[in-house]
Amino acid sequence: MRNLNLIILMPLIIFLSILSRFFNKRKGIGIGPEPLINNIFHKKALENFDYYAETFSIGSYYITNKFDHVFDFPLCSYYSFLRSLFVYECLYMYFNGCLIFKNSIFENFEPHIFKIAGVKTVIMPYGSDVQDLSRSKNLLYKNAVFKDAPTYKLDDTNIAKRIFKWQINGSHIISGCDWVDYMTFWDTLMISHFAIDTDEIKPNFFSNTSDPIKIIHAPNHQNIKGSKFFITAVEDLISEGHHIDFKLLKNVPNEEFKEKISNCDILLDQLIVGWYAMTAIEAMAFGKPVICFMREDIEELFVCEGLIERDEIPIINANTKNIKEILKNLIEDRSALREIGIKSRNYVEAHHSLDFIGNCFNEINQKIGVYPS
């Protein structure tokens, strides 16, 4: 049915893309349409460098709904797409594209419509939009994805096509994190594009010298995060007499989640993927020690590219084999937790602040001919 709708609408879409080029009243940058919390911080980062930016989403998500425009009505994806042709001079979006063409017979044509309209596209990954598992050697991760997302097999081939399509036709391509496994090209390499407003977060460094130690884990996908290994390690330590206040958080809105982070002592992030993302960044901004599996080859890439110094990342590296031992050592000797928290806050300020990410975006914009308002 959707293919039929697009066949009928395609001549109109092409006509409107041409029309938008000649009746150009666009201004600024649109960020969407995936309802990701980091879009809000991307907007702030761009505004710090005097760009006009706004966020828009198709639908909403439990984490946050604080976007400038939320489109959630019949045919809203078509409206959002056509609106973008006339409103924005540049789009910051993900490898899913603007979604109306996703898994359709016209999917490969989407970048060309933006080119016809004269709209620049900065394409960046966020996770599942680029995870073509045929390119990954991480067997634990592959297995976890199949458990958490059994419908992945229905979209596997299309993910590879989307990566190729946007790498060739996007105005500028960003990569980082473990996304480098799946991409064969990028214009800009970053540790990640995730940003956070450090001015809004007051760090709360470790001062809990008495039991119990407060530990939280907030998985969006329990197999992908390796939750069972965290849970088993904590349960074993509790059974051995260690006093631990452990919270497993699920589907918690961001404001409530930030309160939980502020009051914890240690955040358990993930043991499978091999790099950190937004949850770990938020915790580090609060000055909390983070335990996370960090792949040495990814770190070495960023070190060699001059993005970080060797051993600069303060995250406590752990894996499925040693997580209990690492947790036990931290619980029994808590002397390092405050120092790790301070280093964590400093690291986020240096590499994920609005100013740092905004400067990266500003350099990208200058390269593709997009300038502050």
* 173-190: pLDDT as tens digits: 999 999 999 999 999 999
d(CA 80, CA 370): 21
d(CA 9, CA 275): 42
What angle (nearest 5°) sits at the alpha carbon of residue 131, between those of residues 1 and 247? 105
Residues 290, 284 contacting (CB under 8 angstroms): yes
Query: How would you class 259 by CB atoms within 10 Å of its CB: exposed for 0-12, middle for 13-18, buried for 19 or more?
Result: exposed
Range list of β-strands (E), the chain: 29-31, 53-58, 69-71, 90-93, 120-123, 172-175, 188-189, 213-217, 244-248, 266-268, 290-292, 316-317
What is the pLDDT, as a whole number, of residue 245? 96
Regions of the chain short of the pLDDT cut 70: 1-2, 62-63, 153-154, 156
At 268, list the tokens. Answer: 């358990």
What is the pLDDT, as a whole number, of residue 154? 64
Residues 280, 225 contacting (CB under 8 angstroms): no
d(CA 366, CA 10): 32
Class of 2-195+354-368 per CATH? alpha beta
Residues 282, 194 contacting (CB under 8 angstroms): no
What is the pLDDT, as a whole number, of residue 51? 97
How many helices (H) and strands (E) the chain has is answered by: 14, 12
3.40.50.2000, 3.30.2320.50, 3.30.470.20, 3.10.20.30: CATH of 198-351: 3.40.50.2000
**Range 4-7, long-range pairs (CB < 8 A, 24+ positions):** 6/100, 6/101, 6/104, 6/105, 6/106, 7/105
Residues 131, 182 contacting (CB under 8 angstroms): yes
d(CA 354, CA 359): 8
Cβ neighbours, 10 Å, residue 225: 24
Comma-separated ranges of CATH 3.40.50.2000 domains in the chain: 198-351
d(CA 299, CA 167): 23
d(CA 286, CA 169): 39
Whether omega for the bond prior to residue 125 falls within 30 degrees of 0, making it cis, is no
Report the chain's C-alpha Rg in angstroms: 22
